[in-house]
Amino acid sequence: MKLYTHPDCELHQMRGHPERPDRLRAVMQRLSESGLLDDMNVKLAEEISDDMLAMIHPEEYVTAINEAEPKEGVIKVDPDTYMSPGSKRAARLAAGACLQATQDVLSGEEKRVFCAVRPPGHHAEVAAAMGFCLFNNIALAAEYALKDERINRVAIVDFDVHHCNGTVDIFKDRPEVMVCSSFQDNYYPNRYLDYTNEHIINLPMAPGTKGDEWRKRVENEWLPKLEGHKPDLLLISAGFDAHRDDPLAQIEFVEGDYAWVTNQLMALAKNHSEDRIVSTMEGGYNLEALASCVEKHVSRVLGS
């Protein structure tokens, strides 16, 4: 198994903002201390090119983001989404990691790849930065994969506590991409929360929802749809802010819930996707919980 990351993903930093460089440091430190990194091929991510960003994001949007980066200090590109010097590079590395990971699974070099990167991507719409996200990393991976003639259907499973409005915005009219999102209902981003169709499978949860209830719903509402979709590639927007200790939301998952869902997704990928999985970090704002959950997720994806 391979892991993509880059220390320059820490360049994107805004004092006091929950989406902070410490998140990535905590994850990498835990993967190192646990010994998991020793079993992985750890590679440095490379920046995505403008041409590749253009698969999803219009040129004017990419130019606007490029030009928005301040020389010093911090600017807001959305009420929650800031840029600092280095943000552009961090965001391009995060998206680039997802493309490299997809290339690796398509070439057969790797079965499963995890991207330990930031900023996250799933709130970024076609032409709007939102919710700490500048470019939609997982959507770029999906679009790239679909250019391969062997990849006719893709599934994106997003268990971040926030709905993946950006991913839905991008693929809502593309039945070849199934998007499964579980999220705290009536909550940020308050976009696309009620939008469903044959291939957009929303799983809204009331505050206080625990993992056992979520697991039943995943079994009843996601897995049969995913089995029917038969994805040639499984992509995971791995956010860990539904953990009970996370400060941004009120869902009560624990580490074992993430291990469980990862096992379910591994089985799905084995049946339909030739084991091909690309997983990338989205949210997760309690450092201890984030590090523990990523460790559980990655140890399962690794197959140990």
Binding residues for Zn ion, rule: CB under 5 A, are 160, 162, 239, 241, 283
Shortest Å distance, C-beta 161 to Zn ion: 5
Tell me 36's DSSP state.
Answer: G
Catalytic-residue membership of 243: no
Nearer to Zn ion, 119 or 231 (CB): 119
Nearer to Zn ion, 158 or 255 (CB): 158
Which of 123, 163, 229, 243 is the catalytic position?
A: 123
**Residues forming beta bridges with residue 82, ordered by sequence position:** 76
Shortest Å distance, C-beta 163 to Zn ion: 9
- Tally Cβ neighbours within 10 Å of residue 34: 17
Tokens matching residue 194: 């009620």
Nearer to Zn ion, 159 or 171 (CB): 159
Nearer to Zn ion, 163 or 276 (CB): 163
Shortest Å distance, C-beta 187 to Zn ion: 10
Shortest Å distance, C-beta 39 to Zn ion: 28
Shortest Å distance, C-beta 282 to Zn ion: 6
Tokens matching residue 157: 């499973």
* Residue nearest Zn ion by beta-carbon distance: 283
Which backbone phi and psi does 226 adopt, to 5 degrees?
-65, -40
Distance CA 55, CA 190 (A): 26
Distance CA 19, CA 143 (A): 26
Contact 295, 31 (CB under 8 A): yes
Tell me, rounded to whole angstroms, the distance of Cα 92 from its chain centroid. 14
Distance CA 169, CA 160 (A): 16
- Tally Cβ neighbours within 10 Å of residue 83: 23
SS (H, E, C) 110-155: CCEEEEECCCCCCCCECCECECCECCCHHHHHHHHHHCCCCCCCEE
265: enclosing H helix or E strand:
helix 255-272
Nearer to Zn ion, 191 or 230 (CB): 191
- Residues serving a catalytic function are 123
